[in-house]
Amino acid sequence: HDIIGSEVFCNGMKYGSVVDVYSLNANDIYVIKKIDNEEILIPAVHEFIESIDVHKKVLVLKPGKDSYEEDED
């Protein structure tokens, strides 16, 4: 996948990088290692992804960082 190694930004700040991609039937899932080294899974769908530039290796998440945090409950 060309997206692996891309820098990830959210709300104008570096959020992490794409370290893997899971190809599922419905859509791909991006494995993002955040700057604090926590890994999260983000579906490769328009609800979460604002833009992707595979040539510049940049992925921008839609604004709203709170929606990307794990729910501990």
Q: Kindly report, residue by residue over 7-65, the tens digit of the pLDDT.
A: 999 999 999 999 999 999 999 999 999 999 999 999 999 999 999 999 999 999 998 75
Which residue did the predictor score with more confidence, 1 or 68?
Answer: 1
Q: Which DSSP symbol is given to 66?
A: G
For 52, counting Cβ atoms within 10 Å of its Cβ (0-12 exposed, 13-18 middle, 19+ buried), the class is: middle
Nearest to 38 by CA among 13, 15, 65: 15
| pLDDT score of 1 | 72
